[in-house]
Amino acid sequence: MFVVLKQTIMIIEQQNMQKITPFLWFDNQAEEAANFYTSVFKNAQIRGMSRYGDEGPGPKGTVMVATFQIEGMEFMALNGGPQFKFTPAVSFVVSCDTQEEIDELWEKLTSGGGQEVDCGWLTDKFGLSWQIVPAAFGRMMQDKDVVKKGRVMQAMMQMKKMDIAKLEQAYSGEAAVV
């Protein structure tokens, strides 16, 4: 494990990284996950791959740590083995400006075995939880009018993928949302 830690520190030092970086532990899918996430988001790129050598602990030549960037945020993915799994206790929130953006991200992140959850949440094929949320939802929920906020919350609670038009209807009181 010392070798893994030493190589990870070297990767961090080589890149001009933000102060806090999400570090994702995978069994053996770090490279696949980095490629998947950078294909989902338009402003994303692979930043580097560190591979296991003769000393292991992973098979020689396989990715130990993949570094990638999504929308300006650095991520690291480790092939660390099956000891740890993702849970919904940690998720990534993606603020979307349009319904088209919500629809596109939802479709891509649930592809290949991802699962729709409730209230704008989904779990991707690796088990990582995401919240795909319209930016408008945050503005609506900051309104001082508790009746408006209540209608929006009630509408959101009935959704899997969030629908901006239905949230706006609930906010304005135009129609009952089913």
CATH superfamily label, 91-172: 2,3-Dihydroxybiphenyl 1,2-Dioxygenase, domain 1 (3.10.180.10)
Q: What is the dihedral angle through the alpha carbons of 52, 53, 57, 60, rounded to the nearest 10 degrees?
A: 80
pLDDT digits (tens, 9 = 90+) for 67-115: 999 999 999 999 999 999 999 999 999 999 999 999 999 999 999 999 9
* Architecture of the 2-79 domain: 2-Layer Sandwich (3.30)
pLDDT at 104: 98
139 Ramachandran zone, left/alpha/beta (phi>0; psi -120 to 50)? alpha
**Is-same-fold flag (2-79; 91-172)?**
no
pLDDT at 18: 82
pLDDT digits (tens, 9 = 90+) for 120-150: 999 999 999 999 999 999 999 999 999 999 9
Q: Exposed, middle or buried, 140 (CB in 10 Å: 0-12/13-18/19+)?
A: buried
Where are the chain's structural domains? 2-79, 91-172
pLDDT at 177: 47
Contact 156, 137 (CB under 8 A): yes
Contact 32, 46 (CB under 8 A): no
